[in-house]
Structure 1
Amino acid sequence: MRHLAHIKPLRGVLPLRTFRSPTVTAHTLFRRLRIALRRSRLVQIGLLVGFWLAGEGVVRLTGLPLPGGLVGMAAALGLLGSGLIRAGTLRRGANWFLAEMLLFFVPAVLAVLNHREFLGLLGLQILLIIVLGTLAVMAVTALTVELCCRWGIGADGQPSALD
């Protein structure tokens, strides 16, 4: 830089000696990670798969009688509810999974074609159980949401102090 010492900096332009290699701090890395999570669908899909694998690990270590995907989903829901992860962090990856959901059902359809007994009375009974189970889950969910909404509104019709 000595050979450039005789050059005076132009007005509005930083002198050469002020240019340094950028220092990478933990804050900078965390910020870059957040930006990458929000922009990249692939990274979000990887994060969702990571929750699933973490749930599988917890189930295997603890011996819980639950599917690992359910435990991973509960962990993701807990982090979303606590505010540690924002919904935008998982939105694009989750939308991809929802858009491509049909691909996940193709193996199940092929399995049904291998078992002809599902195409008769047994298949109708199973279909009836699935439909009734789905309706029951929807009804319980609707009642739970209704009760939570009523719980959040006081006797005077105003939102409670907890809001």
Structure 2
Amino acid sequence: MIGAIALLLVCQLAGEAIHRLTGLPLPGAVIGMVLLVGWLALVRKERPTLEAVTGWLTAHLSIMFVPAAVGLIDEGAALSRYGVGIVVATVISVLLTLSVTALVFRWAVRRFGPDEQEQA
């Protein structure tokens, strides 16, 4: 388990380092995730241990939001000034994301899904 946690942290750190050293327009976490996928493609024996660790992390995901929520307390002045705009922008972006996702899904099912004649 410690090895899997270390692997996650090393990939995160390597992604952040690559981001800062190269100036790539991708967040370090995304670069780290690509590194992790590459590692898992090369070393298949890591998967069962990593699945156990990520399952535990996902089950306790709400704990991960505590630092972010505490950080919001320090931003009271900014939230009181821009809070309504932030909420409106969040709601609009969620609705747009849901709509685009639904439209792309419907298009993909029509385009790549089984034909009605094949189902009968």
Aligned-residue offset at 1:78: 5.3
Worse-matched range after superposition: 139-148 or 122-131: 139-148
Alignment partners' CA distance in 1, 2:23 and 2:108: 32
Which 5+ residue runs of structure 2 have no aligned equivalent? Answer: none
Return the TM-score normalized by structure 1: 0.52
The corresponding residue for 1:129 is 89
- Give the number of the structure whose residues are more often helix, by fraction: 2
Alignment partner of 1:63 out of 17, 20, 23: 23
Identity between Structure 1 and Structure 2 (%): 32
Higher RCO structure, 1 or 2 (CA under 8 Å, sep 6+): 2
Q: Deviations over 1:119-158 (max 9, x none)?
A: 5362122122123223333443444444444444365765
Mapped partners of 1:151, 1:77: distance in 2: 29
Secondary structure, counterpart of 1:120 in structure 2: helix
| Contact 1:117–1:123, Cα closer than 8 Å, also in 2 | no
Cα gap change, 1:54 to 1:149, in 2 (>3 Å) = farther
Pick the structure with greater CA Rg. 1
CA 118–145 in structure 1, closer or farther in 2 if over 3 Å, else same:
same
Q: Once superposed, what is the RMSD of the aligned Cα atoms?
A: 3.3
Task: Show the counterpart of 1:91.
Answer: 51
Q: How many residues were matched structurally?
A: 117
* Letter in structure 2 aligned against 1:43: G
The answer to whether 1:115 aligns with 2:75 is: yes
TM-score w.r.t. length of structure 2: 0.66
